[in-house]
């Protein structure tokens, strides 16, 4: 079991997700700290991937404006070190509604290779992008572009950030299914941004 324990973690996380980046930061990377829970124990890892987030630099008090997160294409490995990644399901990416702004609505556009219809819901101050999947190992995919419609408050700064501060308060989770010889393992993966820079910054004035 020692070999399986050492190899199971990289199989589950290589190329699994796309992570939003600060506006006009194409080609850069932001890290998520992740933990995969398996019947062979817990494995901590980091993930890096890219996207772009955009919002106006300034808005008037009470003005309506939009934050757009354009996620980049990604792909899942089919096999790593003898392990087969069968699929990824139930991906949830959360973004908190920023302070000094009121949530109006949100919608998704585009996306491909997801084998399901993504959804976006806002509740308790958090917008959650859900992708049921399954996304098969070895396939290419693109998560949809997310647009959030906000209304500016009276003053201050509106900063958009990712949700999550620990494994007990994750901002991203998913379930990976892998196969090793005749053993099929389903493992939940929880992640939080580390560090967690602002995706966008809009000054109200």
CATH code: domain of residue 40: 2.60.40.2270
Task: Summarize the confidence of residues 51-64 as an average pLDDT.
Answer: 94
Q: What pTM, to 2 d.p., does this model score?
A: 0.82
User: Residue 5's pLDDT is what?
Assistant: 42
Q: How far is 33 from 89, CA to CA, in rounded Å?
A: 19
Is 171 a residue whose pLDDT tops 80?
Answer: yes
Parent domain of 64: 2-199
* Mean residue pLDDT across the chain: 83
Task: Summarize the confidence of residues 95-100 as an average pLDDT.
Answer: 96
Residue 130 inside a domain? The answer is yes
Tokens 């992740």 correspond to 34
Could you give the number of structural domains in the chain?
1
Residue 115 inside a domain? The answer is yes
Q: Identify the residue with better confidence: 25 or 92.
A: 92
Task: Summarize the confidence of residues 115-133 as an average pLDDT.
Answer: 96
Residue 71 inside a domain? The answer is yes
Residue 204 inside a domain? The answer is no
Residue 205 inside a domain? The answer is no
């Amino acid at each position: 079991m020692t070999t399986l324990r050492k190899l199971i973690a990289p199989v589950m996380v290589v190329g699994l997700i796309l992570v939003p980046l600060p506006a006009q930061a194409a080609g850069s990377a932001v890290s998520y700290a992740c933990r995969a829970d398996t019947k062979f124990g817990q494995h901590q890892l980091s993930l890096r991937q890219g996207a772009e987030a955009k919002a106006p630099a300034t808005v008037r008090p009470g003005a309506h404006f939009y934050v757009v997160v354009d996620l980049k294409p990604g792909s899942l490995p089919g096999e790593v070190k003898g392990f087969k990644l069968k699929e990824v399901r139930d991906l949830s990416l959360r973004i908190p509604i920023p302070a000094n702004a009121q949530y109006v609505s949100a919608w998704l556009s585009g996306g491909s290779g997801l084998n399901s219809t993504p959804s976006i819901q806002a509740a308790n101050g958090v917008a959650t992008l859900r992708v049921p999947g399954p996304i098969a190992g070895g396939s290419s995919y693109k998560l949809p572009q997310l647009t959030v419609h906000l209304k500016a408050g009276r003053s201050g700064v509106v900063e958009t950030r990712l949700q999550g501060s620990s494994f007990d308060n994750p901002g991203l989770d998913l379930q990976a299914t892998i196969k090793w010889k005749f053993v099929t393992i389903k493992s939940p993966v929880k992640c939080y941004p580390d560090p967690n820079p602002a995706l966008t910054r809009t000054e109200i004035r």
